[in-house]
Amino acid sequence: MAKPRINRREFLGHSAAGSLALGLAGAARTFAAYEEKPVRIGFVGTGNRGTDLLGTMLAVGGVEIPALCDINPEHLARAARVVEEGLGRKPELYDRGPEDYRRLCERTDLDAVVTATPWQLHTPVMMAAMEAGKYGATEVPAAITLEQCWQLVETSERTGRPCMMLENECYYRYAMLILGMIEREMFGELLHCEAGYQHDVRYLKGIEGKIGPDGSLLWRGEHAVTRNGNLYPTHPVGPAAWCLGINRGDRFTRLVSMSTKSRGMNHKIARMFGADHPNAKRKYALGDINTSLLATENGLTVTLYHDTQSPRPYDEIFRVQGTQGIYSRTLRKIYIEGRSPQEHTWEDDEPYYKEFDHPLWKKYGDEAVKRGHDGADFLEFTQFLHAVRHGLPTPIDVYDTAAWSAVSPLSESSVGMNSAPQDFPDFTRGKWKTPRKILVYGV
């Protein structure tokens, strides 16, 4: 499918003119209409998450998947079966080593490349995709160094190809509810968000894990050996950034970060595999709980937690506060001055869904919840695939992708410098000053 290149001005123009026109254009669209113009995807990294995402894209519909790439033959064969069962056609397999994704990106019959590899490969794969004229979509975080963040921005600007980080937590029902209420100014002027990735992912279960079944370290565990900071920031920072208007009238300016000592990996491995296991005795750089504080140009703050190796139930926190009200995801409660029935008293958030459920959720919610992360994965692909199909900017753009991912290297620098403040680069080079709405396609 030939697509016009999007230059930088059009990129921002589309985004600024935004959702109203696109919303109307998409109103009559159905899943069936997608079949008329399938989006052709090459997929790199077919592990746990990759295989799940392939299934999600097939469920959204309107895709062809002519090519898959992985260095692990079993993963590749499993993913190929998923594609063949879903589409009735065998994808071509790229299995000639760690750089074979480059050959996949060069194919002329792809519109986009999606990747779910380990973190350090996201930027190289996205750069190869954009250089070859494709849209890119990457699992989170998109980059692990500031240099990689800039590489994404500069490659996207130079090639005119969008790059979307697949930050599914932006599409959770509660996150979109609150975003819609913020757009209606129900919380007044925004002041603060508190959010966290608080998920014990030490032992392999489902799609996460740092420790393999024999006590070996998986690739996430190896990051914990050498890096100390917020290594997985984009789940909490993405929805918070959308709520606070980051890159849409405001921007992150600086960050301070500190970590506790590291105990959780040693404790878990000792308990599961014995105190003499080499990985039980190993020294881990990653502090068990990292806390970062971010400031914005317009005087807002964000507190971020990264807590992935202590025993705990999952909790994303997601507290949003403005001059007129507050929402707490942990409590599932809201208080809005002048609207909540009793002063100083929380209300259940449930009734708000009846009144303010986001249009994307109203339209796709029943289908979406059949897929991962309570439907958020499905919704993010309705948006990415719509953008590719129509040659439009992606709702999470390369500037969001870079700014949200930059939290990792900045927090590592701050922790390493006794919590010294670190300045955020302005990846937009001043374009953040222009207010624009979050793009929503197909409603």
Ligand X SMILES: NC(=O)c1ccc[n+]([C@@H]2O[C@H](COP(=O)([O-])OP(=O)(O)OC[C@H]3O[C@@H](n4cnc5c(N)ncnc54)[C@H](O)[C@@H]3O)[C@@H](O)[C@H]2O)c1
Tokens 């959010």 belong to residue: 195
Smallest distance from ligand X to CB 117, Å:
4
Smallest distance from ligand X to CB 343, Å:
38
Smallest distance from ligand X to CB 415, Å:
20
Which CB atom, from 217 or from 410, has the smaller least distance to ligand X?
Answer: 217
End-to-end, the C-alpha distance of the chain in Å comes to: 24
- Name 108's Cβ contacts closer than 8 Å, sequence gap at least 6: none
Does residue 31 contact residue 62 with C-beta atoms inside 8 Å? yes
Which CB atom, from 377 or from 397, has the smaller least distance to ligand X?
Answer: 377
Q: How far is CA 337 from the centre of its chain?
A: 32
| Nearest of 166, 164, 144, 145 to residue 156 by alpha carbon | 164
Which CB atom, from 36 or from 74, has the smaller least distance to ligand X?
Answer: 74
Smallest distance from ligand X to CB 118, Å:
5
Smallest distance from ligand X to CB 138, Å:
8
| Nearest of 385, 427, 389, 301 to residue 58 by alpha carbon | 385
Which CB atom, from 52 or from 397, has the smaller least distance to ligand X?
Answer: 52
CA distance 255 to 238: 16
Enclosing H/E stretch for 271: helix 264-273
In the bound state, the residue with its beta carbon closest to ligand X is 47
Smallest distance from ligand X to CB 220, Å:
8
Residue 174 structure tokens: 């509660």
Residue ranges in 2-145 assigned as alpha helix (H): 8-17, 19-26, 31-34, 48-60, 73-87, 101-105, 122-131
Which CB atom, from 140 or from 415, has the smaller least distance to ligand X?
Answer: 140
Smallest distance from ligand X to CB 390, Å:
24
Q: What is the DSSP letter of 205?
A: B
| 347 phi and psi angles, rounded to 5 deg | -120, 150
**What are the residues binding ligand X (CB under 6 A)?**
44-50, 69-72, 75, 98, 101, 116-119, 121, 139-140, 168, 207-208, 219, 373
For residue 22, give Cα distances in angstroms to 14, 26, 387, 390.
9, 6, 10, 10
Smallest distance from ligand X to CB 430, Å:
30
For residue 43, give Cα distances in angstroms to 78, 95, 128, 285, 342.
13, 12, 13, 32, 52
Which CB atom, from 14 or from 49, has the smaller least distance to ligand X?
Answer: 49
| 265 phi and psi angles, rounded to 5 deg | -65, -45
| Nearest of 390, 382, 384 to residue 360 by alpha carbon | 382
Which CB atom, from 119 or from 432, has the smaller least distance to ligand X?
Answer: 119
CA distance 248 to 400: 10
Smallest distance from ligand X to CB 377, Å:
7
CA distance 214 to 230: 27
Pair type for strands 39-44 and 112-115: parallel
| Nearest of 220, 303, 305, 307 to residue 263 by alpha carbon | 307
Smallest distance from ligand X to CB 200, Å:
14
Smallest distance from ligand X to CB 290, Å:
16
